[in-house]
Amino acid sequence: MCMQDPPSSFTLLHSPAYNSLYFNHNHNLSFDSSTSSLSDPMPPESDVTISSYRLCWDVFLSFRGTHTGHTFTMRLYHALHGRGVRVFRNDDGLERRGEIQKKLLEAVEDSAAAVVVISPDYASSHWCLEELAKICEVGRLILPVFYWVNPSHVRKQEGPFEEWFVWHVQRFPKERVEQWRNAMKKVGGLAGFVLDEKSDKSDELIQILVQNLMKQLRNTPLSVAPFTVGVDDRVEVLKNLLDLKSNDVRVLGLYGMGGVGKTTLAKSLFNNLVVHNFERRSFIPNVRSQVSKHHGLVSLQNKIRGDLCGRKEDLINDISDGISAIQKIVQENRVLLILDDVDDVEQLNFLMGKREWFYKGSRVVITTRDKEILYGSYVDVDFEVKELEFSEAMELFCFHAIRRKEPAEGFLDVSKQIVEKTGGLPLALEVFGSFLFDKRTEREWKDALEKLKQIRPSCLQEVLKISFDALDEQEQCIFLDIACLFVQMEMKRDDVVDILNGCDFRGEIAVAVLTARCLIKIIGDGKVWMHDQVRDMGRQIVRSESLTDPGLRSRLWDRDEILTVLKNMKGTRNVQGIVLDCVKRRMSIPRDRSADEITRENFRRKPSCKSAFEYIKERYKKYVEDRKEKSKEVILQPKHFQPMVSLRMLQINYSRLEGQFICLPPKIKWLQWKQCPLRYMPSSYNPLELAVMDLSESLIETLWKGRSNKVAVHLMVLNLSRCHRLTATPDLSGYLSLKKLNLEECSHLTRIHESLGNLNSLVHLNLRLCYNLIELPGDVSGLKHLEDLVLSDCWKLKALPKDLSCMVSLRQLLLDSTSITELPVSIFHLTKLEKLSANGCHLLKKLPTCTGKLCSLQELSLNHTALEELPDSVGSLEKLEMLSLMGCKSLSVIPNSTGKLISLTRLYLDGSGIKELPASIGALSYLRKLSVGDCTSLHKFPVSMEALVSIVELKLDGTKVSNFPEEIFVGMKMLEKLEMGKVQHLKFVPVSFGCLSALTILDMHDANITELPESIGMLENLIRLRLDKCKQLQRLPDSIGNLKSLRWLMMKETAVTRLPDSFGMLRSLVELDMKRLPYLNGAGNNVSTGTIIPEIREQPSSEAILTSFCNLSLLEKLNAHGWGIYGKIPDEFEKLSSLETLCLGHNNICNLPASMTGLSYLKKLLLSDCRELMFLPPLPSSLEELNLENCVAVQYIHDISNLERLEEFNLTNCEKMVDVPGLEHLKSLRRLYMSGCIGCSLAVKRRFSKVLLKKLEILIIPGSRVPDWFTAEPVVFSKRSNRELKGVIFFGVISFKNIAENQREGLELVDVQGKIFNLTSEVFSTTFRLLRVPRRNEDHIFLRRFGARTPLVFQLKDRYTLHLQRRNPPRIEGLELNNCRIHLVFYGDDDYEGDEGSLEEIQYSVSQKLAKFFNFAADYPDV
C-alpha cells in the first residue's frame, strides 16, 4: 500500500504543542525494520529543531472510501494540507493486508489527532473498525464527522450498521467484535459534526473542521494527553484505605523514594476526592523545599488557612499563632488536607497539629520519603508507593521515548535493559525516555544504555544528569537558571521566556526543548514546574562550583547565604543570578474603620479633653505598629553588588536599597523589585543593558526623577502594575525595544504620555483597572505591531483614538466596563483582530456598519451594553465562533444575516430584549451552544431550529414560549443538555422529545407542563432530570422506568400523587427528591403564592410507594416529605444500605423499622410533622442530624448514647416527650432545639453534662433562669495578655405574649441578635438561628456560643462592645427579650478535658459550670 506524503513545502505551524514544527515533502514515514529506524529521515540541518522529531502526523483521517473518498474526505485533506497540517490518509483503493495494516495502526499511534468520517458503509469494512478501535485505544483527540448517518445509530450500531455487525459476528471472534462495538459507542457519544444528506454544507463543515483542528493542535500539550500508568488503580486502593463513607478522622501516609510518583498519586487522589463534599480542601505541595525558605513554615500556615477558610484572612507572622489558627479551622469543618513531601515531624506539628483536633469525617494525607515520620500518633494507615512493575515501566518508557505502548521492532532488547536499569522509577523513565525521543537509530539507544550502565544503582540524579549533559551550552545555562532561580518563584512560562530573551538567549526554543525532555513542565495557568529531584540535580551542579564559598557560585537562591555574601562583600564575577524574595509582611486592609479614624472623627465633631486624649492614644498605637513593621524590612546596599560584574538577573522584592545606585552591576538584564519604597528611580541609575524591569506594587510616583529620561535602550518588558501612586507614564520615545508594558491597576494614573503612540516595537499593553484614566493618546499610528490592548475596567475612558488604521497587528481588544459610546469607524482596518470584548459598556448603543470587515474575528462579546441593533454586516464574519449579547435589553432583533456565520459554535442571548430568533438560525449547522435564557420577550421558536443538528447545549429558561414546533427536536441528535425551567406558558412537550438520544441533563423546573410524553422513556442516556415546582404535573409516564442511566431525579412540589409501576426499575438512582408541600395533598388554591392547584383525584398509595423505594438500592438521598405515607415503614427499607439522607416528614408514619441500625451510612433522618409517630427505635450511630419537630405524639425514644456524631437534634413542640435517654453522652452535639418541650425539659436539664455542653452552640428550652455568673449586657471586651479569646456565650430569656396560636405555625425566631460596636459605630451584627416559635406561651431560655473562628469573635477587637438585643423593628410583635447575659471565654477557661467531680466550684471549666447550673435549675425549679 502507498503512504500519503506530508505537505510539499516547509511550513511553520505556530503551536506550543509542536513548537515550530517543520514539514518536508520528503519527510516520509519509514517502517523499514531492516534499518532499525524508528521514524523518518532527518530534515536538512538548517531546519532541525527538537519539534522536528515529535509525532510524525498531526491528523489521521479514517474513512470508508465508497461514499467519501473522492469527495468530502479529499477536499478536507487538501484543506488541511494547505494549512501546513501533516495529514495521514490511507489510499482507499489499496487492500489492507498484513504489513500494510500494521503500518496503518502505527500511523494512528503516531498522530496527534484523528478525524473519523463515519458514513453509512463505514462498518462494512472490518479494517475501518480496527482503525477506530485503535484510535480509541491511544486516547488522543477525536473529531467525529457523521456523514449522512444518525449519531445514535453509530452509538447503538443500528440503522445501516446493524446488518454489518451481524455479518461480522459470524466471521470474527466475539471479543474482537465487542471491541469494535465499544469503539462505535464511544465515538457515537462524542460531540461531533453532523452532515445531513439533504443539505449541501460540506464546504462550511470543512472550514470549521480546519479551524477546530488548528486551534486544538495549538492547545495540545507536548504529550498530547497526560499519560500515567497504574495511577487510577492506586487511587482506588487509597480511597478504600481512607474509607470515605466513615465519619472517623483518617490520616493516610504515603512513603517511598524520590521520583517514585508520590506527588502524582497524591494530586490524582486530591482531584478524585473533590466530589466527596469536603467543606474545605487544601493541597500543599513541596513542603520540604518551601519550609527551607525564609519564614517558610509561616507562609505555609497562611496558605493552609487561606485554603481552608474560604475567605481572605489577615496574615500571621508567628508560627504559634499559625497552628492555633489552623486548630480552630479544622475543629469546626470537615476538611481534606494533603501535605506533600514532608521530611521532618516538626513540620507536621506546625502544619496539621494533632489528629484529634480534626472534625469528624476529615481526611489528611501525608507524603514523605522518610517512613519514620509517619510513626507516632499521626497516621492511621501507611501505604508504600513502590516502583512500577516491569510491564508498567515499559509502557511508561515507551510512551515518552516513541509515543507507543510497546517498543518498535529491533528495539525490544535495548528497551528492556533500559527499563531494568532505571529501576521502575517513573521520573527516571519519563526523563530518560524523553531524552531518547529524538534518538532514532539502534546505535544511539545502545550508546545511551552504556552511559546508564556506568551509573551506580538507585542513583536517580545521575540518571537525570544524562539528560542534562545532552543539552547544548545555552540550554544548560537556562536549565540552571530555572532550577535555581525561577522555579521557587512559581513564575509563568511567558515571564520566563521574556527574561531569557532579555538575556540574549533563545528563550522560546530553549523552554520548548526542556519541556520536550521532561526537565520542566508547564502546569495550571501556565506556571513553570520542575520535579524537586530534577531541581535538586540542577542546584547540586551549581553547589559543586564551590562547596564552601557561595560567592564563587553562579547562582544564589538561599536567603541566608545571599545575605552573608552581601554583608561580607564576598560576591565575585562568577555570580550571574540572585533571587532574594523577602516575605511580604504587610497586613491586609481591615474591613471596619480603624480606631484612630473613629477617634479622630469623634474629636472633630465634639472637641474635648477626653476625645483628644482618645485620639492621641490611638494615633500613638498606630505609630508603634508602623515602626514595628518598618523594623522588619531588609536593607541592602548597592556597593555590596559591585564585585558581581557578571550579574545579569537580580530580584530584591520587599527590601530597601540604600546607597549609590551607580554601584549596581551594569550588565543586569532582569531587575525585579516588587514593593520598591522609592518615589522614583534615582538619577544615578542608568540601566543601559536592562531588558526586563518589574517594579510592581511599588510606591513609585514617576519612573525617573525630574525631567531626566533614563532610557534603557534594550528594555523589552516594563511592569508597573499596582503602582497606585503612579500618575503618568514617562516619555517612552527612546524605548525602541519595548514589547510589553503592564500598567494594570495603577489606580491614580490619569495621563498616558503621547510617546506611547509611537512605540513601533510594542506588542502588549495592559491598562486594566486604571479607573482614573480619561483618554489615550490621539495618535497611535506607531503601534503597528501591537497585538494585545487591554482597557477593561478603565471606567472613565470615553473614547478610543479615532484613527486605528495603523494597528494592523491587533489580535485582542478588551474594552469591558469602560465608558466608551462608540467604536471608531476606522476599526475595519483591524483585519487580524480575533477577539473584541466590550462587556458592561453601558453607553455603547451601536456598532459601526463596517464591523463585518473584521475578517479574522472569532469572538465578539457585547454583554450588558446599550446595544440597540446589530449591523447586517456581522453576517460577513465568516470566522466568528462566539457571539455573546447577554443582557442587551435594548436589542430586540437579531439580523437574518447571522445565518451566514458558518463558523459560529456558541450564541449567547440570555436576558436580552429579542422578540424572535431569525428564521436563518437553522443555517447554523455547526452551532454547539445556544442560550436564550430569561429572554422574556421571546414567544416562539422558528421551525428552522430543527436543522441545528450539531447543537450540544440548549438553554431556554424563562422565555414566554407556549409551544414548540412539533419536529423541533428530531434533528438534534447531539443535544446533551436542555434547560427549559420557568417556561411557564408551555403546557405540553412535543413527542419528538424522545429523539434526543444523547441527552444527559434535562431541567424543566418551575414550568406549567401538565404531562410528559411517553417518548421520554427513549432518553436512555439521561442522567439528571429536574421537575421541581411543576405544579400542574399530575403524573409521570409509565415509560420512566426505561431511564436506566438516571441518577438524579428532582421533582419536589409537583402535583404527582402516584408513582408508575415501573418506578422501581430506576435502579441507578442516587438522589430522589419528591417533596410535596402540605397544600398539595388537597385541591384548591395556595393563598400564599396564588398558584392554582389542580384537583387531586387519587391519594398516594403507601404500599406501592414504599415498595418502589425498596428497589432503589443505590439511593443515597431520599426525600418523600408530605406524601401522606401512613402506617409502618417495612423492614425491607434496610436494603437501602447506601442511604445518607432520609426525609419522611409530614407523613402519617406510626412506626419506623427495627432494622434502622442497618442503614450504617445514614447521616440525616428528618421526620418533622409525623404526628402519629409515637416511638423511635434504635438508630444508626452514623447520624449527624435528627429532626422530630412537631412530632406531637412521640413519647419515648430509645437510648441515643450511641449517636456520638450527632450535631443537630430538633425536638421542637414534642410536648409529650418524657425524657431523652443518653443525651448526656452526645459529645458532638452543636444544636439542640427544644422549644415547647414542656414534658421533658426538667428531665433533660438533669442530663446536661460537661461532655454535652462542651461543643453546644445553640440551645433553646423552656425555662426562665439565667446563670448569675454571666455579665449583663453590654460587655466591653478587654484584650488579656497571653490569654486569647476562645469564644463568646450569650444567654437570655424569651417571652411570648399576645401571639395567637393559629399564627404560630411556621413562625421563625429571628428577632434575637448579637452585635459589636466600636465606640458608637456598629461593626458587626448576627441573627441567632433559634428555629420555630413554640405552640405555648411558656418562657424559654436560650444559649448561643460562638467559637474562635466565627465572624463575631473574629471581628471583636480591644475596647469593642458586645450587645444582645431584640431586632428593631421586630418581626414578631409579641416577643420580648429579658435578662440578657454575656460571658467571654478565654484560653484556659474551658480547656480542661478531665473529670471535675473532685474540684472546687471555683476551679470548674465553663462547660462544667453550665452543667451544674442546668442540673440545679431542674432539681430546684422554683428557687
For cell 464511544, the residue is: 186
- Cα dist from 1310 to 296, 600, 879, 1333, whole Å: 45, 36, 57, 10
- Transcribe 1278-1303 into DSSP letters: --BTTB-EEEEEEEEEEEE-S--GGG
pLDDT in tens, 140-154: 788 898 888 888 889
Q: What is the pLDDT of residue 1025?
A: 96
Residue range 555-567: mean pLDDT, rounded: 91
Asked if residue 929 lies in contact with residue 907, where contact means CB atoms within 8 angstroms, the answer is yes
Q: Which residues contact 448 (CB under 8 A, 6 or more apart)?
A: 418, 432, 435, 436, 439, 466
Q: Is the pLDDT of residue 1181 over 80?
A: yes
**CA atoms of 75 and 69, how far apart (whole Å):** 9
H or E element: which one contains 1417? helix 1406-1419
pLDDT class of 5 with cuts at 50, 70, 90: very low
- Cβ atoms of 709 and 681 within 8 Å: the answer is no
Of the listed ranges 861-870, 966-975, 1160-1169, the one predicted with least confidence? 966-975
Q: Which of 556, 459, 478 is nearest to 517 (CA)?
A: 478
DSSP calls for 438-462: T--SHHHHHHHHHHHHTSPTT-HHH
Does residue 592 carry a pLDDT above 80?
no
Q: What pLDDT score was predicted for residue 1246? A: 94
Where residue 220 falls among pLDDT bands split at 50, 70, 90? very low
| pLDDT tens digits along 303-352 | 888 888 766 566 777 787 788 888 878 887 888 999 998 888 888 888 88
579 Cβ contact list (under 8 Å, min separation 6): 485, 488, 489, 556, 557, 649, 651
What pLDDT is attached to residue 198? 65
Q: In angstroms, what CA-CA distances link 365 with 341, 350, 713?
A: 11, 15, 52
Average pLDDT score over residue span 280-284: 86
Higher pLDDT, 378 or 1045: 1045
Q: Which three cell numbers stand for residue 682?
A: 534615582
Q: What is the DSSP letter of 1332?
A: B
**3-state per-residue secondary structure call for 1191-1229:** CCCCCEECCCCCCCCCCEEECCCCCCCCCCCCHHHCCCC
The residue-averaged pLDDT of 809-816 equals 96
- Mean pLDDT check: name the lowest of 321-335, 546-560, 763-777: 321-335
Q: What is the mean pLDDT of residues 578-607?
A: 65
Q: Above 50 in pLDDT, residue 1331?
A: yes
Query: Of 1126, 1019, 1116, which Cα lies nearest the Cα of 1073?
Result: 1116
Please compute the mean of the pLDDT values over residues 566-570 and round it to a whole number.
90
Mention every residue, 6+ apart, whose C-beta is less than 8 A from residue 24: 6, 10, 43, 44, 47
**Residue bearing cell 546508564:** 452
Q: Distance between CA atoms of 236 and 1252, rounded to whole angstroms? A: 38
User: Is the torsion defined by CA of 178, 183, 186, 191 positive or negative?
Assistant: negative
In which band, very low, low, confident or very high, does the pLDDT at 712 lie, cut at 50, 70 and 90? Answer: confident
What is the residue-averaged pLDDT of the chain?
Answer: 83
pLDDT band with cut points at 50, 70 and 90 for residue 1354: confident
pLDDT at res. 584: 55
Query: Average pLDDT for residues 491-518, to the nearest whole number?
Result: 90
Residue 630 confidence (pLDDT)? 64
Question: Which of 810 and 1401 is assigned the larger pLDDT?
Answer: 810
211-220, 370-379, 1222-1231, 1339-1348: least confident range: 211-220
Measured CA to CA in angstroms, residue 1182 lies from 331, 429, 1049, 1186, 1200 at distances of 19, 46, 25, 11, 12
Contact (Cβ atoms closer than 8 angstroms) between residue 238 and residue 252: yes
Amino acid at 263: T
pLDDT at residue number 217: 65
Q: Are 875 and 900 in contact (CB under 8 A)?
A: yes
Average pLDDT over residues 525-545: 87
- pLDDT band at residue 612, thresholds of 50, 70 and 90? confident
What is the model's pLDDT at position 10? Answer: 24
Supply the pLDDT for residue 993.
85
Task: Tell me which of 527-536, 786-795, 1169-1178 is least confident.
Answer: 527-536
Mean pLDDT, rounded, for 1180-1188: 94
| The dihedral sign for the CA sequence 506, 508, 512, 515 | positive
Confidence at residue 1083, expressed as pLDDT on a 0 to 100 scale: 38
The whole-number pLDDT of residue 33 equals 30
Query: DSSP string covering 901-963, please?
Result: -TT--EEE-TT----B--GGGGG-TT--EEE-TT-TT-----GGGGG-TT--EEE-TT-----
Q: What is the pLDDT of residue 38?
A: 34
Fill in the DSSP letter of residue 21: B
Q: Please, which pLDDT band fits residue 716 given cuts at 50, 70 and 90?
A: very high
More confident residue, 403 or 468: 468
CA angle 592, 595, 598 (to 5 degrees): 85
Residue 1297 φ then ψ, to 5°? -135, 145
- What Å distances lie between residue 344 and 288, 460, 539, 663, 1359, CA to CA? 8, 22, 21, 42, 41
Specify the DSSP element, H or E, that contains 1312.
Answer: strand 1312-1318
For residues 1380 and 818, give the distance between their C-alpha atoms in angstroms, rounded to a whole number.
52
* Residue of higher predicted confidence among 1014 and 261: 1014
Q: Beginning with the edge strand found earlier in the chain, give each strand of the sheet holding 250-255 in spatial order.
A: 280-284, 335-342, 363-368, 250-255, 381-384
User: Which region among 286-295, 660-669, 1192-1201 has the lowest average model confidence (pLDDT)?
Assistant: 286-295
Residue 812's φ and ψ, nearest 5 degrees, are -140, 125
The pLDDT value given to residue 963: 86
Cβ(1235)–Cβ(1260) below 8 Å: yes
pLDDT tens track for 1313-1327: 999 998 888 889 999
- 210-225: average pLDDT: 57
Identify the H or E element spanning 126. Answer: helix 126-138
State the pLDDT at residue 151.
87
Q: What is the pLDDT of residue 99?
A: 56
Please state the separation of Cα 421 from the chain's center in Å: 40
Asked if the model's pLDDT at residue 155 lies above 80, the reply is yes
Identity of the highest mean pLDDT range in 66-80, 235-249, 382-396, 744-758: 744-758
What's the pLDDT score for residue 594?
64
Is residue 1043 a contact partner of residue 1025, using CB atoms and an 8 Å limit? yes
Q: Evaluate if pTM is beyond 0.85.
A: no
Cα–Cα dist 1056/1037, whole Å: 11
| Beta-strand relationship, 1312-1318 and 1361-1366 | antiparallel
Pairwise pLDDT comparison (1301 vs 619), residue with the higher score? 619
Q: Which of 631, 595, 593, 629 is nearest to 614 (CA)?
A: 595
Q: How far is CA 1250 from the centre of its chain?
A: 42
> How do strand 1340-1347 and strand 1375-1386 relate by DSSP bridges?
unpaired
Task: Please identify every residue annotated as catalytic.
Answer: 131
CB within 8 A of 444, min separation 6: which ones? 436
pLDDT value, residue 67: 61
Instruction: Tell me the pLDDT band of 1088, cut-offs 50, 70 and 90.
Output: very low
What confidence score (pLDDT) does residue 857 get?
A: 95
Band of residue 1033 on the pLDDT scale cut at 50, 70, 90? very high
pLDDT of residue 201 exceeding 80, the answer is: no
Segment 829-869, tens digit of pLDDT: 999 999 999 999 999 999 999 999 999 999 999 999 999 99
The mean per-residue pLDDT over the stretch 711-717 comes to 85
Mean pLDDT of 1066-1077: 92
How many Å separate Cα 950 from the centre of its chain?
28
Count the neighbouring beta carbons within 10 Å of the beta carbon of residue 71: 12
Task: Supply 758's cell numbers.
Answer: 509611537
Q: What is the pLDDT of residues 1281-1299, one digit of tens each?
A: 888 899 999 999 998 877 7
- The whole-angstrom separation of Cα 745 and Cα 345 is 42
Q: pLDDT (tens digit, 9 = 90+) per residue, 1261-1281?
A: 999 999 999 999 999 999 888
Question: How large is the average pLDDT for residues 615-636?
Answer: 72
Q: What is the pLDDT of residues 859-881, one digit of tens each?
A: 999 999 999 999 999 999 999 99
**pLDDT category, 496, cuts 50, 70, 90?**
very high
Q: Which residues of 1082-1121 are buried (b: 16+ CB within 10 A; e: fewer)?
A: eeeeeeeeebebeeeeeebbbeebbbbbbbbeebbbbbbb
Q: In which band, very low, low, confident or very high, does the pLDDT at 397 lie, cut at 50, 70 and 90?
A: confident
User: Distance (Å, rounded) from C-alpha 805 to C-alpha 784?
Assistant: 9
